[in-house]
């Protein structure tokens, strides 16, 4: 008999009933250190007092009115994002998937309005993840995601990750946009080199193609800058945001330049919930905190400490781990042991990590994790690795 919850997930046998900062409490009372943050969502930890205050204050006033009316909380969050980024304008969604939908529509509409209705092709990359809607699975293009779901939305060209020669060859006057994650998340914490991102920007400038960055996972302070592309010193035309921006409240956004957004006039797009007062009140508090230079300096300091300890962990367990990769507090441990076993051994030792493709486990702790918690987390990962070693030596 089918379970009452549609069984599309492989769930771990864990049931958390409370969260506090970097800690999650299981129903049985065990306290886990959370290096997953609900997949980079709980950017400021669980039950963050500032976010609880922002949420409850707004909850007592007004939850939802619809975009038929002006929404001051939405205006405030949009202004904050425009002040702190390349963007001139923002549309609010409820998820990364919805941000992908709009990014694709916006790029195509731009060319349509420019009198080039055939210019619809969007170049994307293998191993990428942009969400689960029909456009987002077509964008990623992996057989695992599209198979069985009927006609795949056309107009996407998939290139090997990081193959700049293939990208140059494939970018033509039919290319509406290039869509890429500065650091692939689901794909296994695979960072794009800064010089490659600069080269992609240059290629877009040469050909006119729009640059869409998917910063749903790597954005919102995760790499130690507000957005990951800032490290390369270039800006996109359109950017997808979600995950961390709501700190756990479902919220996403598409940021764009005035030019890229120029086709999106009244009536061309919309959302019932997107940008509602409750979500935006929380989002504004997250952006206020995370965009602060002092906060980001702290992220970089903590990231350096974590990375150094992880390098030591890899050196100490060469049969379990292969390398550390990623940036800031978006780190991956490429494993030699099956990544699923490493994640499970982490559960046994009360530390939560997130599996990814390429036999990688992801470490995406709250951005405000303390140095003591980092040390404790690595001690627990060390115990997990030792458990795997002793299990395989007793086989």
Ligand X SMILES: *Cc1c(COP(=O)(O)O)cnc(C)c1O
Q: How far is CA 375 from CA 165, 294, 305, in A?
A: 42, 22, 9
**131 interacts with ligand X by CB under 6 A:** yes
154 closest CA partner among 141, 142, 138 = 138
Size, binding site for ligand X by CB under 6 A: 15
Which of residues 46, 108, 119, 130 is near ligand X by CB under 6 A?
130
Of the listed pieces 90-98, 117-125, 268-276, 342-350, which binds ligand X according to CB under 6 A? 90-98
**Least distance from ligand X to the Cβ atom of residue 211, Å:** 15
Residues 132-191 binding ligand X (CB under 6 A) are 181, 185-186
Query: With respect to ligand X, which residue has the nearer C-beta, 343 or 350?
Result: 343
Rounded Cα distance, 263 and 115, in Å: 11
- Nearer Cβ to ligand X (242/313): 242
Exposure of 121 in the CB half-sphere (CA atoms within 13 A): 14
* Calpha distance 159→126 (Å, rounded): 6
Nearest alpha-carbon partner for 189 in 308, 304, 310, 325: 325
Give Cα separations from 352 to 12, 105, 147, 259, 346 (angstroms): 11, 37, 31, 42, 6
CB of 137 vs ligand X, minimal distance in Å: 11
Please answer whether residues 219 and 212 qualify as being in contact, where contact means their C-beta atoms are separated by less than 8 angstroms: no
CB of residue 131 to ligand X, shortest distance in Å: 4
Q: Looking up tokens 């130690």, which residue turns up? A: 224
Token reading at 47: 């039950």
Whether 283 and 245 have beta carbons less than 8 Å apart is answered as yes
Whole-angstrom Cα distance, residue 385 to residue 391? 10
Which residue from 96, 182, 221, 224 is in contact with ligand X, where contact means CB under 6 A?
A: 96
Q: Smallest distance from the beta carbon of 49 to ligand X, in angstroms?
A: 25
The distance of closest approach from Cβ of residue 261 to ligand X in the complex, given in angstroms and rounded to an integer, is 20
Q: What is the spatial distance between Cα 354 and Cα 343, in angstroms, rounded to a whole number?
A: 7
97 binds ligand X (CB under 6 A): yes
Q: Does 73 bind ligand X (CB under 6 A)?
A: no
- In the shown chain, the binding pattern of residues 199 to 218 toward ligand X, with x for contact by CB under 6 A and - for none, equals ---------------x-xx-
Which two structure tokens, joined as six digits, stand for 110?
A: 């731009």
Cα 75 from Cα 232, distance rounded (Å): 29
List 23, 91, 92, 129, residue binding ligand X (CB under 6 A): 129
The smaller minimum CB distance to ligand X, of residues 249 and 321, is found at: 249
Structure tokens at 251: 């919220």
Question: What x/- string results for residues 232 through 251 when contact with ligand X is judged by CB under 6 A?
Answer: ----------xx--------
**93 lies in the binding site for ligand X (CB under 6 A):** no
- Helix, coil or strand: residue 142: coil
Per CB under 6 A, the list member of 22, 58, 74, 95 interacting with ligand X is 95
Give min distance, CB of 260 to ligand X, in A. Answer: 18
Q: Does 37 bind ligand X (CB under 6 A)?
A: no
Does 363 interact with ligand X (rule: CB under 6 A)? no
**Smallest separation, CB 185 to ligand X (Å):** 4
Site residues (vs ligand X, CB under 6 A) = 95-97, 100, 129-131, 181, 185-186, 214, 216-217, 242-243
């Amino acid at each position: 008999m089918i379970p009452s919850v549609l069984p599309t997930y492989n769930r771990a046998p864990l049931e958390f009933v409370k969260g506090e900062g970097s800690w999650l409490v299981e129903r049985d009372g065990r306290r886990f250190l959370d290096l997953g943050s609900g997949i980079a969502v709980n950017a400021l930890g669980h039950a963050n007092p500032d976010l609880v205050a922002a949420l409850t204050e707004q909850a007592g006033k007004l939850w939802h009115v619809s975009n038929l009316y002006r929404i001051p909380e939405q205006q405030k969050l949009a202004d904050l994002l425009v002040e702190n980024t390349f963007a001139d304008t923002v549309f609010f969604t409820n998820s990364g998937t919805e941000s992908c939908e709009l990014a694709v529509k916006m790029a195509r509409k731009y060319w349509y309005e420019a009198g080039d209705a055939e210019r619809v092709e969007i170049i994307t990359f293998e191993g990428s993840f942009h969400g689960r809607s029909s456009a987002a699975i077509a964008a990623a293009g992996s057989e695992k995601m599209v198979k069985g779901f009927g006609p795949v939305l056309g107009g996407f060209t998939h290139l090997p990750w990081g193959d700049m020669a293939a990208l140059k060859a494939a970018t033509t006057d039919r290319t509406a946009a290039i869509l890429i994650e500065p650091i692939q998340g689901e794909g296994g914490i695979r960072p794009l080199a800064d010089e490659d991102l600069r080269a992609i920007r240059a290629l877009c400038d040469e050909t006119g193609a729009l640059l869409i960055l998917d910063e749903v996972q790597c954005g919102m302070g995760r790499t130690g800058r507000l957005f990951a592309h800032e490290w390369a010193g270039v800006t996109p035309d359109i950017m997808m945001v979600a995950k961390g921006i709501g700190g756990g409240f479902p919220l996403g956004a598409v940021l764009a330049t005035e030019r890229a957004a120029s086709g999106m006039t009244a009536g061309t797009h919309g959302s019932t919930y997107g940008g509602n007062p409750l979500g935006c009140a929380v989002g504004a508090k997250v952006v206020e905190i995370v965009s602060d230079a002092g906060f980001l300096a702290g992220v970089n300091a903590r990231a350096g400490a974590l990375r150094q300890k992880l390098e030591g962990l890899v050196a100490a367990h060469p049969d379990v781990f292969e390398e550390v990769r990623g940036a800031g507090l978006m780190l991956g441990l490429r494993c030699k042991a099956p990544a699923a076993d490493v994640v499970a051994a982490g559960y046994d030792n009360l530390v939560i990590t997130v599996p990814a493709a390429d036999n990688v486990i992801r470490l995406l702790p709250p951005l405000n994790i303390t140095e003591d918690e980092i040390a404790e987390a690595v001690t627990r990962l060390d115990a997990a690795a030792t458990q795997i070693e002793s299990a395989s030596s007793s086989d």
